[in-house]
Each structure stands twice: as C-alpha cells, then as structure tokens.
Amino acid sequence: MVSLKGLFLFSASIVCFLSFLSFGFASFTPIDCFLISCGSSKSIQVEDGRVFEPDFGDSDVGLSTNSLISVSNNENGLLSELHNSARVFTKSSVYTISTKQIGRHWLRLHFYAVKNNQHNLKSAVFSVLANGITLLRDFSFSRLGKKEPLLKEYVVEIGGSSSSGNLVLTLSPASGSVAFINGIEVVSMPEGQFDFSVVPIPMGPGFVIPSSVALETVYRVNMGGPKLTPRNDTLWRMWNSDHLFLVNPGSARNVTKDPKSVKYPAGESVDIAPNWVYATAQEMADARVVDQKFNITWAFQVARGFTYFIRMHFCDIVSASLNNLIFDVYINNQTAVDALDVSTKTMALSSAYFVDFAVNMSAGSDKIFVQVGPSNLRNSPANAILNGLEIMKMSSPSNSLDAEFLVHSKNFESSNTKRHVKLAIFATLGGLAGLLLIAMFCFLCFVCFRKPKMVKQKSLSWLSFPNHIGISETKISAGSFASTTPSRALGRIFAFSEIREATKDFDESLVIGVGGFGKVYKGVLENGVMVAVKRGNGKSQQGLVEFRTEIEMLSKLRHRHLVSLIGYCEELNEMILVYEFMAGGPLRKHLYGSDLPHLSWKQRLEICIGAAKGLHYLHTGAAECIIHRDVKTTNILLDEKLTAKVADFGLSKFGPALDQTHVSTAVKGSFGYLDPEYYRRQQLTEKSDVYSFGVVLMEVLCARSAINPSLPREQVNIAEWAMHWQKKGQLEQIIDPYLVGEVSIDSLRKYGETAEKCLAEYGCERPSMGDVLWNLEYALHLQAAARQSLEDENNNTIPDIPYSILRVESGEADEIDIVSHGESDVTTSSGVFSQLINPKGR
C-alpha cells in the first residue's frame, strides 16, 4: 500500500472549515474533515457549498495503485459533478485515510453508475469493508432500481481497538466484475453524539452503545416538515419528510413554528438535530375533540437479524403552557415512554428534547412501528406529537452491517451445526444401545434374586418444585396430586392443561396485568369460577423463592380482606399461581392513572379500613405474626363492590419470636413506602408495615404516587411533602381536588393525625395496626356525622383549595424496588406479585 501525495496546497480540513463558514450558523468545526471526489482530476464544489478534492490530492489519503481506472461522463447535466466521475477497481483496492482525532466518525459513501464504454458499472458487483466491518456485500447498483445517486451513511470508530488512527476502506469486486465509488466523506463527530443511555425495547436496564459497534443510517425523518438537505444541517445530514411512512395520514396534521424560537437546554448540543427539525411536528388530527383514543403510526421497513438504534426528537411547539401535553410513546406495540411530558423534562416550551432506544429485530416482523398517542394519566387535552426520528442499524457480532453477509454466515454456521448434530446423534444412539443392554442385565438380576418386601408408600409433601418433562394434556398433573383435589394444605394443584384451557391458551387479550414475575391473565375454570392466573417467566427461575413464599403464606391465611389463593401449578417448569379474581383491580388505578370514576371520601375511608383489617389480621390473627413487607396501593386489590383485600405475599416474613423485638433481614420493599428505620438498621418489625400503610393513606388522600421525580424536589416524596402540610395544620392544601367540598374538616383532621403517627421516624412511636384501624373507623364516623349535619348547616367542609400539587405521574417511578443480595431467601424484586393493572392495548 503506497501513500500518494498530491499537488494541492490546502488540506481537506481547511476546505471543511471554509465550507462551515459558508453556512453562517455552524456551531461545530470538525478536526477531521475529508471530502474526496473519486476519479476526478479537479476540485468539485457541491450545491451545499462544500468542496470535494480529488483522491490523489491529499497526503493524508492513500490509495493502493492496483488497476486504477478513472471514468467520467459530463453528458448528464442533472447530476452534480461529484457523481459524473468515479474510480473503478478491477482488483481489491484500499483507501487509507489518516485521521487526527480518535473516536467515532461519519463515513459517507457516494455511488452512481457512470456511463462508460469500457465498464458497465450498473452490473458491477462488489463488497465494501471499513476497518474490518462489512458495510456492503455483493452490492449491485442495478438491483436498487435507482436512477439517482446513492448515499450510504455510517458511523465508525477510528483509533479504537480495531484500528490505529487510520480508516482503511477496502473495495473488493466479485469474480469477473469491478468495484467503483464516486465520493467519500470522513468527518469527525461532536463529542458525545452517541454516548447516551439507550433504553431497550421491551423495557430493560439502559446501556451505552459500545464504541466498537458501527452504525448505518437507515432512516432520518423530519416529522411534519419538508426535506432538509446538508445545507440545513451543521453535520451535513439529510432529513426526509415523513409522509411516505405514515400508516394513516388522516390521523396526523403538521404544525410549524419559527425555527428561531427553538431553544436547546443547557448541556445539550445544537448538533443533535437542526432547529428546523424541532420547529415542525406531526400532532393528532383534531386532537382537541373529547375522548380521542387513537395513535399516530409510522412504519419503517428494515432488515431482520439486527438491532436498531432509534432516536426520537420532541419539542413542545403546540402547548400554550407547561404540563399541558402528556402522551405515550410506543415502539413495535411496546410501551417505550409512559406519560411523557416534554415540558417537564426541559422546563420550557419550544425546547429540544430527545430519547434513545434499541430494538432487536432478530425474528418476526421486518417493520418497525413507531406510535405516539394520548395518555390516560389525567384529564388533559388528548394530543401527541413527534418532531423527528432517526433509525440506525447496529453492526452484528460478526462485524457486519449487511444482511446478505449475515445470512451467509448463518447458513455456514447452520451447515457446521448440522454436521456436528449428526455426529452427536450417532454417538448418542451407540451409547444408548450399550446402556440399554446393561440396564436389561441389571433388571434380570434384580428380578431373579431380590427378596420379597412390603412396599412402603412414600409420603408426598411439598418440599420443592420438580421439573416435569413432557406435555400434559390430561386433567392430572404428572408427578403431582390429582388436580381436582387439594394438596396437603397448600391449595389445589392445577394441571398445566387446565390453566391453558382457563386462559384460552394464554390469550394476550386476557392479560390484565404485567409484573416483574410475569403476566397476569383473566381465566375461567371448568366450574365457571373466574380467576386471576399469574404466570412466571418460563425461561428462568427468577421468582422461585417468592413463588414458594406466596403459596406457603396464603395457604395458611383466610380472611375477608386478604386475597385468596385458589391453587398453583408447577408442572412443565411452570410457576403459576391462581387467585380469586378481583374485578376492581388495584387501588392505585382508582386514584390516578386511569379514567375510572373518582372515589368518594367515604369509599376511600372504607377501602383503607378494609386494608387495615387485613394487615391487622396478619400481625395478630394468624398463628404467627406475619409482616407483609410490601404494602402499597398496587398490592391492595378491590372486588366489584370495592371491598379491599391485601395481596402479594412474595416478600412476607414471619415476625419475631416472643423473646425477640425484631427480625434481622436484608432490606426488601419499594422506594417511597420503605420504613426508614428498617432501611437503616435492617431490623424488620410489624411497625414497618405501619409506616408503609401511612404512605398509602397519603396516596389515597392526595391521589398521586408515592415518589414522583417529575415534581419539584420538595414534592417528590409524598410522605415528606404531606407531613410538611400536616404539621402546619393545612393538609387540605394538597388533597385530591375531587374531594373539595366533600371532606369533613374533623374527619380529615383525624385521618391526617393517624397518617402522621404511622409515618413517625421510629417504629416505637408508631401505633399498632389495631390502633390505626380504630382511628380510621372514627374518621369515617366523623364524616358520617358531618354529612348528617350538612343537611341543616353547610359550613363544616373545606370550601376550596388555594394550592394543589401537579397531578403529573411518572409511570412506575415509585415501583423501584430495593433488593439486597445479602439475604439468600429472596432473589427478586417486590414488583413480582403486584401490578394487576390493565395494560394499554396498543
């Protein structure tokens, strides 16, 4: 490989700098900027002002000298000069570009089959690699059916583990063919352009894309606006209009604002996307009509077998005030962002905001569906927007961005696998034949020489969860008791076939909730009894300890205010729990986050009293004291008559013995509800449940989540915020606005005092659940007495709320679980057996 020096006086970086100055608005000057015109003998200025230099004109650009051919055609005046010339290779050839900056670079390749008498470039078949990463394999311009030039844009790492400060671009023609290229752009990127946390879809822990992973731009779309050319972008990117991708154009309408009004929050680069992108958007058509429940949907064709990076750009250019636009975001029918309030993220209108995702398309559909739609979080105008979208393909583990290469590799691996499988099958059959002979010999010896014995029946007890093999289609579970009879004090054991029949083979339309343990289905047993079927993730043993604890606890407990366990199934590696069906769902759904009717103050008191009765029974009425350890509004379920029942005993522990004051155990629970004394000392008592119940009381009163990071700092934690007003004697300032004019002052005062005692810093200062129950019943009595006197005199109610908190929720922000690995008896989060919430079916 020879590095050829040119005769040009100005380096490529100087040319790029001058090109940026021509924009006037540029904010980023790249350290590396190589604009190369392949096969041309002169400098070429393109329409956006940039100047491309010949590939023999820069000392930092080396080109192997094997069979170089320059072709040009000036007859087509519709093309830019850049695409009227090309460099043609009859053998594998290499461009070596020496860069100054280490890190990610834009790599853009220009292809157009220039007419030439010597070579038919349209029929050329070749491959392109960059630093060992396959960009194109067996590429043919004619297969595209395009008449205009092709631009391929990539992001590659230079100077990392795969290269030494050089970009090595290899073009290899297929046998009997040639390779060609018209132009090359290598431009260093602004620092941190892709160093942001990526949220996987379906949801999981975020991660940052490794620098070794290359990216290929598949789509870059300006929603609601026109096509943007490199002239409009400081990084010379192309943004296409979204009209071709809208599934139902009638569902959206474009909105536009002056680009100069777009603001970039502190710390966010203006190079993330041009202000022209943020100044236009698609919003819901006729979005201000009441009760619209549709989404705006875009569909994008992609290649299977890759993971795709998706960056979504938002800017609230439609609202007149903050916190007025709240909507949900979906990717491939999975919730990507729940209840997004862009103005809360940016604390301003017309302010740029973006979020990154990663979607694996290894199987199934070859389309990525992106949707935005109204949220059910609160009663606000139904609207949703999207300003811009970028979809980029991530290189595979085999360092390829080409689907053809991926298929070839898989076929090769598949052939090797088949060969190994055949060898393994023959070896296994031979071994089995030998074992069979040995087994027959041992059996004959055993039958002939054994002494007659009385067969002792083994007692069956539930000690572990065996892994059964096979598929049960009978009504009797293999290796277990008959499903029609109860097990030894552990409830009914169901056959897997019964569960499948009850849930219509786990029909997705019957899903009523999704938690950390798995999905919850609505089912109907053979006898017509409606049940809730909680199915664990069959691919892992996560939740096994909670599964066992739930069965052991609920099998011993029977109370009107505890959810009843009907039975379980542990067949075929399944972990399935069957409960009585609670038609009302979790208490939280009746407080906020849904369109259910608002609960009256009397109903709320009765629900709290019912839950308190259930907890009081756990602490004092069972054979042993039981500490629930995860009391929260999602674990208090309601039936069709709004009777409250405590659920989710996966984290429950038996209380201390008579000669002990506490149970020393690792910290488990949910942020926002966790007893601070238990958290500090890891000493669990029944007073830990009392503290959590105090948080529930405030959640019921204020109709907001226990933890809401989107609110100002002093309001994030409801326990601290409510106690601030309770101690001032002004708790009415933050109650649910729907309770205004309904709550008796005396009832509210007693309720607030009860919650305050529950939320005391130390457990010894908190009341027992029995005392809490008495106080709540007294608060209900005070409310009833006030109602009675209200008929004669209407002066004992709260007339108005001069100040109320924002009711903007943060999805599952308060469901963050505390899991300490210091204790071996619990291995999963507290969200395992909660969240019996209707998912958004979109």
533 against 544, higher pLDDT? 533
Same domain, 606 and 671: yes
Read out DSSP for 684-696?
Answer: E-HHHHHHHHHHH
Average pLDDT over residues 516-524: 82
Of 331, 338, 393, nearest to 368 by C-alpha is: 331
pLDDT class for 710, splitting at 50, 70, 90? Answer: confident
CB 163 within 8 A of CB 115: no
pLDDT of residue 163: 52
Strand pairing of 353-360 and 197-201? parallel
Is residue 448 in some structural domain?
no
Q: Do 347 and 226 reside in the same domain of the chain?
A: yes
Segment 625-638 shows an average pLDDT of 90
- Parallel, antiparallel or unpaired: strands 636-638 and 626-627: unpaired
Specify the pLDDT at position 601: 95
pLDDT for 804 equals: 36
Higher pLDDT, residue 834 or 592 = 592
Which residue did the predictor score with more confidence, 264 or 553?
A: 264
Q: Is the pLDDT of residue 157 over 60?
A: yes
Q: What is the pLDDT of residue 653?
A: 79
Q: Catalytic residue numbers?
A: 630
Percent of the chain with pLDDT over 90: 40
- In this prediction, residue 66 carries a pLDDT of 54
- Tokens standing for residue 746: 């005396």
pLDDT score of 96 more than 70 = yes
Q: Chain-centre distance of CA 120, in angstroms?
A: 48
Q: What is the pLDDT of residue 800?
A: 47
**Any idea which of 463-467, 488-492, 563-567 has the lowest mean pLDDT?**
463-467
CATH number of the domain where residue 625 is located: 1.10.510.10
Residue-level pLDDT at 218? 97
The CATH number of residue 368's host domain is 2.60.120.430
CB distance 199 to 331 below 8 Å: no
Average pLDDT, the chain: 78
| Residue among 794, 800, 784 nearest 732 (CA) | 800
- Whether 478 has a pLDDT exceeding 50, the answer reads no
Confidence (pLDDT) at 316:
95
**656 and 699 inside one domain:** yes
Rounded CA-CA distance 230/237 in Å is 5
pLDDT at 99 over 70: yes
Report helix, strand or coil for 448.
helix
Strand, coil or helix: 125 = strand
Binding site for ATP, residues?
534
Contact of 714 with 721, CB cutoff 8 Å:
yes
Task: Give the three-state DSSP class for 492.
Answer: strand
Pick from 326, 350, 169: nearest CA to 260: 350
pLDDT digits (tens, 9 = 90+) for 304-359: 889 999 999 999 999 998 888 999 999 998 889 988 999 888 899 999 999 999 99
Is 439 contained in some domain? no
State the pLDDT confidence band at 180, using cuts at 50, 70 and 90. very high
Asked if 167 and 49 sit in the same domain, the reply is yes
Look at residue 637 and tell me if it is in a domain. yes
Same domain, 637 and 567: no
Tens of pLDDT, residues 55-69: 886 777 888 765 567
**Percent of the chain topping pLDDT 70:** 73
- Residue 170, pLDDT above cutoff 60: yes
Give 357-392 pLDDT, tens digit per residue. 999 987 667 899 999 998 876 566 788 999 999 999
Give the residue among 389, 206, 141 at the shortest CA–CA distance from 282: 389
Asked which of 120-129, 283-292, 642-651, 740-749 is least confident by mean pLDDT, the reply is: 283-292
The three-class DSSP label of residue 617 is helix
765-770's contacts with Cβ under 8 Å and 24+ in sequence apart are 766/687, 766/690, 766/691, 766/694, 767/690, 768/616, 768/619, 768/686, 768/690, 769/612, 769/615, 769/616, 769/619, 769/620, 769/686, 769/689, 769/690, 769/693, 770/616, 770/620
Is there a single domain that holds both residue 241 and residue 388? yes
Residue 762 lies in a domain: yes
Judge contact between 318 and 385, C-beta under 8 A: yes
* Average pLDDT of span 734-746: 91
Residues contacting 834, CB < 8 A, separation 6+: 515, 586, 630, 632, 634, 635, 647, 648, 815
Residue 623: what pLDDT? 67
- End position of a domain, from candidates 163, 188, 213: 188
**pLDDT at 67 (0 to 100):** 53
pLDDT digits (tens, 9 = 90+) for 611-628: 999 999 888 877 678 888
Single out the residue of 676, 687, 764 nearest to residue 717, CA to CA. 676
pLDDT of residue 241: 95
Q: What is the pLDDT of residue 87?
A: 92
User: Cα(256)–Cα(31) distance, rounded to whole angstroms?
Assistant: 35
Q: Is 41 a member of any domain? A: yes
H/E stretch holding 586: strand 585-586
Is residue 479 situated within a structural domain? no
User: pTM of whole model > 0.85?
Assistant: no
Instruction: Output the pLDDT for position 354.
Output: 95
Same domain, 102 and 63: yes
Annotated binding site: 534
Q: What is the pLDDT of residue 70?
A: 75
Strand-pair partners of 426 = none
Residues 733, 754, single domain; the answer is yes
| 385 bridge partner residues | 283
More confident: 462 or 248? 248
Kindly state whether residue 815 falls inside one of the protein's structural domains: yes
> Residue 613 is encoded by which pair of tokens?
């009765």
- The 10 Å Cβ neighbour count of residue 673 is 29
Tell me, yes or no, whether 709 and 786 share the same domain. Answer: yes
Mean pLDDT of 425-437: 65
**697: domain range?**
588-819
Q: What is the pLDDT of residues 777-795, one digit of tens each?
A: 999 999 998 887 766 555 5
Q: What tokens does 809 get?
A: 């929720």
| CATH number where 558 lies | 3.30.200.20
Q: What is the pLDDT averaged over residues 626-651?
A: 89
Q: Domain tally for the chain?
A: 4
Domain boundary among 188, 211, 239: 188
Across 657-758, where does the E strand assignment appear?
663-664, 668-670, 683-684
Single residue among 558, 580, 602 that ends a domain in this structure: 580
Of 392, 399, 417, nearest to 137 by C-alpha is 399
pLDDT at 192: 81
Instruction: Answer whether residue 457 is part of any domain.
Output: no
Together in a domain, 184 and 215: no
pLDDT beyond 70 at 250: yes
What length does the chain have?
842
559 and 594 share one domain: no
Same domain flag for 173 and 238: no
pLDDT at 463 over 70: no
